[in-house]
Amino acid sequence: MASLDTTTQARFELVRARIERAARAAGRDPRTVALVAVSKTFGADRIREAITAGQHRFGENYLQEAVAKILQIAAGSAADQPEWHFIGPIQSNKTRRIAESFDWVHSIDRAKVAERLAKARSSVQSELQICIQVNVSGEATKGGVAPSEAAQLAEQVAALPRLKLRGLMAVPEPTPDEALQRRRFRQLRELRDRLNRDGFAMDTLSMGMSADLEAAIAEGATLVRVGTAIFGERRG
């Protein structure tokens, strides 16, 4: 148990150091880059270790698994409840539970899902924080709207009650080619900037994972989603 704890703590420190170094290299304040720890496939015990290590934001992809862990964590200390980010593909019949359980949703790529989330978000909860997922690498199998469709979806989301449009999210194709990583992230930033010039006020660029967070931060990421570098390799 103690050794697990030490590992989680040590990995966190490494990831935080990477974020800090990348931000400083880009002339940015490291505090402008939020870290979402992606805990999918790992149990509530590992999430608790991360909370002990000072982590506050967690990302999950699979609803059923996530809700079970959220309830387990909520049953613990009431004082230090983390912020939960849904980052996986969304089936429209799952929107109610997502709206009930999460603080952020990063993976909006169609109006119907946004409408259902808005309807399901209760008025006693704070607004659900929303990112639109954009398919910047044009992969046929990947979620996300085409860059050319982002403006229309942003307009639809911004008009909905109980949702707050915060920004754009992308999961570009994995590549060791740093120039290509940079180019994909730059595309997302430029799209966000263009939309903001057209009247949106998006403050969030959700981009960068374990293998490419440096490139994402260099291109303006305000939120990186990191799993493997914190929790280790996922099984299955």
Ligand X SMILES: *Cc1c(COP(=O)(O)O)cnc(C)c1O
Q: How far apart are CA 102 and CA 61, in angstroms?
A: 11
Segment contacting ligand X by CB under 6 A, of 5-13, 177-185, 190-198, 204-212: 204-212
Q: What is the separation of C-alpha 17 from the centre of its chain, rounded to a whole number of angstroms?
A: 19
Confirm if 207 and 173 have CB atoms less than 8 A apart. Answer: no
Segment contacting ligand X by CB under 6 A, of 16-24, 25-33, 97-105, 225-233: 225-233
Can residue 225 be called a binding residue for ligand X (CB under 6 A)? yes
CB of 159 to ligand X, least distance (A): 26
Can residue 14 be called a binding residue for ligand X (CB under 6 A)? no
**Which CB, 26 or 211, lies closer to ligand X?**
211
State the amino acid at position 171 in one-letter form: V
**Which CB, 35 or 191, lies closer to ligand X?**
35
Element holding 57 (H helix, E strand):
strand 57-60
Confirm if 117 and 109 have CB atoms less than 8 A apart. Answer: no
CB of 204 to ligand X, least distance (A): 14
Instruction: Indicate which single residue of 209, 215, 217, 223 sits in contact with ligand X (rule: CB under 6 A).
Output: 209
User: Residue 146 is encoded by which pair of tokens?
Assistant: 């085409």
Q: How far apart are CA 107 and CA 134, in angstroms?
A: 9
Q: How far apart are CA 52 and CA 6, in angstroms?
A: 11
CB of 169 to ligand X, least distance (A): 8
Residues lying near ligand X in the complex (CB under 6 A) are found at 38, 40, 61, 87, 171, 209-211, 225-229
